[in-house]
Chains A and B, each alone.
Chain A
Amino acid sequence: MDWMKFLSPLKLTSSARPELLANEFERFVVGSADLEAEGFNPLKAGIIVFTNHRILWIDENNCRGGFLHLASVIQVYPPKKSLKKMFSTPRINLQICLSSSGTPCPYSQAASTSSMLIHIALRNSTSSVDTTFSKLTEMLETKAWHVNAESHEHSRRGLPSQDESSSLPAVQDLAGPSRIRPAMAGVSGILRKEQEQWEETDKNLQDAFVDLKALMSKAKEMVALAEKMRAKLMTAPTTQAGSMDDEDATSRQEMQDWMLSVGIASPVTKETAGALYHQQLSRQLADFVVVPLQKAGGMLALVDVYCLFNRARGTELISPEDLLRACTLWEKIDVPVILRKFDSGVMIIQSKSQSDDEIFSRIRSLLTRTEEPSFVGIGATEVARALGMAPALAKEQLLAAEQKGNLCRDDGPDGLRFYLNFFKDIGGEVC
C-alpha cells in the first residue's frame, strides 16, 4: 500500500514547514526517520514533527508530507532493549486504530476495530529514543486534541480562530449577572451592574496573578480580558477626544505598535528541534520574511529582519549568529528568498523575484526607451529614480551588470555612466 494514501495529506508552506492547526503546537522534531509497517514500502529519511495533536511526516526534498492524528494511536511501545538490538536502529512502535476501509480513525474503546503496527525508525543517533518515547507518551496522556474538539463544537464546526473560541466565555461572564437580577433597572441599576463587573474583573486579575500555575490555568480568560480591554481603549477616546493627554496618546501608540508584532505561535527552538535546529529555523525564517519583504518592497536589511523575527518569536530570542547561520542555509534549500552581501559589507535579504537578472532587464528597458540609447547612457541617479531604489543600490546594480558584461562604463565629465554592451550581442551573432 502507499503511505501517502494511508496518511492524511499535510499542508506545507513554500519552504516545507508544516502548517499547524489553531491551538496546535510543535513539541519536538526528529530528523532522518523512517516510517515502516507491514505491507508498506518504508518511507525513508524524512523529518518527523511531533505536535500536541498530530504526528507529521515531511519529505523536504519533494516538499510533501502526511500526518497521523494522535487520536488514532491506541498504544505506544518503547524500543526493545536487548543485546541483539544494541546495534540495530532503535524503533518506536505505534499501534494505530483502523477503520473498516483501512485508514486511520480516532480510537474509542467501545468500537472494536482492527489495528496495525507502525514503526518509527530513528536513524539519527543524536536524537535520543528514550526522550522521544517519553515525550510521545506524555502527549498521548494530555490529549490536547480533546480540549480543542470541545471548543470546535462551541463555536461551529471547521477551524475556529483562536480569538473566537477564547472570547466566548468572557462574553457569557458579562451577560451573567445582568440576567440574574432583572429588578435592577434605571440609572442606579446600570451603575450597580457596572460596579459589579469591575469588582469581578479585579478579582479575576488578582486570582490569576497569584503565581504562575494560577496564571496558566486562567490563561485563556486573561487573553480574552486583555483583548476586551484593548478593544475598549482603542474605541473609547474618540468619544472624548478633548480629554486625551499625552500619556494616553503614547500608551495607545504603544499598543498599536505592538499589535503588529504578534506572530509565530510555534517558534523553532533548540529544545524542540535539537539537531535540526538551524535547518528548521532557516525554513521558518523563510516563511516569516515573505510578508515583511513585500511591505518593504522586496528588500530588507538583515538587522531589521533580526528585530522583526525575534519580536514575532516573543521570549524565544535567537542570537545574531543563529540568524546568520539560518540565512546562509537558504542556499541549500529551495526557498523564495536569498541573502545578499554588498561590497560595502551590508547584508540584506531579498526575494528571488528581485534578482540581478530581473533588475537588469528593467535597466535594459530604460536604456532602450530613450531615443538615443547609445549616446546618453544611464547613470545611477536615473536608475534610482526610475526603479524607486536608493542611489547607492542602483550603482551597485549597475556595477553588477557591468561585471557580467551586460553594460559598459564611461567615466566622463557627467560622472559614471553606463551603456549597453553591444559586443555581447554582436559576439553572439558571429558565433
Chain B
Amino acid sequence: MRRRPGVAGLQSEAVLRGQYKALGENVARIRMDLMKDQLSTFRNQLEDFARKHKNDIKKNPVFRAQFHSMCATCGVDPLASNKGFWAELLGIGDFYYELGVQIVDICLATRSHNGGLIDLGELCSLLSKKRRALREPISEDDCRRAISKLEILGSGFEVFTIGKKKMVRSVPTELNKDHNHILEIAQARGYVTIEDVENELNWPSGRAVDSLELLLKEGLAMVDDGHSDGKRRYWFPCIGSMSSDAIDAESEYNL
C-alpha cells in the first residue's frame, strides 16, 4: 500500500484502518459465537450421554476416565440420574445420593459469601439450574430428603428455621470461622450488636443472628438488654481490656 501525500492520504488511511479493525472485531465475535454454539451442543450431547449410557460408561474404565475429563473441561455435571419410580417411592437408587453431592457442592461454592448458611429456596433454584438438562424440577422436599441421607455423616449439616425462613447450614459449629470475625469486631469495645456485625461484615441478617446465638449457647457471650437505646448487646467477657477485668475480679474477691 503506497502512502499518498496530504490530508486526503491520511484520512483514507485512517478509514482503511478503521475498516480492518471493524472486520477483525466482527470475525472475532463470529468466532466466539460459533464456538459457544459448538460448546453448547457438545455439552448437551455429553449430558444426554451421561443420562442414557450411565451403566455402559461405568463398565469401561478407560473410557470412563476420558468421559469424566470431557465433562469436567466442558463444565458438564456427570451426575444425572432420573428420579424414577423407586426413588420417588422408597428413596432408593442413586438419585438422592447425587442430589446430596450436588447440594454440598453448591454449599461449598457459596460458602465464601454466605458463611455456610443458605436459604432452602435459593438452594433449590441453584440445584435446578445445575441439573437443567433433566428438565425435572427439584422440589424442596427432594432437597430435604437428600440432606437427610447425609445425616449419617455426622450432625452439622441440617435444615433449620430462622423466623419464617428455612435455612440450610453446611458448616458445623466446630469449623465455623464466622465466630472469629465477630470476636475481632468485639475486640474494640468488648461487645457487639447485631447491627454492628451486619454493617461491618456485610452479612445478611440471618447469618449474624445465627452466629451470635451460637456463641451465646456456647457460653462465650452474654446478653445485655438493659441499655437505653433498646438494642441487645452481646458482651464477650474475656476479651477487650483483659487485665482490667482481672483486676476488677481481684478487687471483688478482696471485698
Contact = CB atoms under 8 A, between A and B. Distances in A.
B238 A395 contact: no
Contact of B150 (A187, A320, A393, A414): A320
B215 A391 contact: yes
B91 to A, nearest CB: 12
Contact of A324 (B104, B152, B175, B242): B152
A416 B67 contact: no
Nearest to A230: B73
12 contacts: A194-B27, A307-B104, A311-B105, A314-B67, A315-B64, A316-B64, A346-B172, A385-B184, A391-B179, A413-B237, A415-B238, A416-B219
Given A393-B175, A415-B238, A317 B39 contact: no
B94 A317 contact: yes
Contact of B218 (A304, A345, A391): A391
Interface stretch (A9-17, A116-124, A149-157, A218-226): A218-226
Interface string B54-91: 10111011111111111111110011000000000000
Contact of B101 (A205, A300, A317): A317
Nearest to A229: B39
A354 B252 CA distance: 40
A223 B174 CA distance: 41
B97 A317 contact: yes
Contacts of A379: 220, 238
A121 to B, nearest CB: 26
A361 interface: no
Interface string B138-170: 000000000001101111110000000000001
A367 to B, nearest CB: 14
Nearest to A376: B246
A212 B172 CA distance: 43
A329 B74 CA distance: 36
A-side interface mostly? helix
A323 interface: yes
Nearest to B171: A301
Contacts of B23: 187
A388 B238 CA distance: 17
A219 B245 CA distance: 70
Contacts of A299: 175
B-side interface mostly? helix
A56 to B, nearest CB: 15
Interface size for chain B: under 10, 10 to 19, 20 to 34, or 35 or more residues?
Answer: 35 or more
Contacts of A216: 60, 63
Interface stretch (A57-65, A92-100, A125-133, A260-268): A260-268
Interface of B: 23, 25, 27-29, 31-32, 34-36, 38-39, 41-42, 45, 48-50, 53-54, 56-58, 60-75, 78-79, 94, 97-98, 100-101, 104-105, 108-109, 149-150, 152-157, 170-177, 179-180, 183-184, 214-215, 218-220, 222, 236-239, 242-243, 245-246, 249, 252
Given A265-B65, A345-B155, 10 more contacts: A162-B69, A215-B49, A219-B70, A259-B72, A301-B157, A315-B67, A342-B174, A345-B154, A375-B246, A391-B218
B101 A27 contact: no
A243 B175 CA distance: 41
B74 A255 contact: yes
Given A201-B38, A220-B66, A344-B173, A381 B249 contact: no
Interface size for chain A: under 10, 10 to 19, 20 to 34, or 35 or more residues?
Answer: 35 or more
Given A324-B152, A384-B183, A240 B29 contact: yes
A323 to B, nearest CB: 7
Contacts of A341: 154
B58 to A, nearest CB: 6
Contacts of A282: none
A385 B79 CA distance: 40
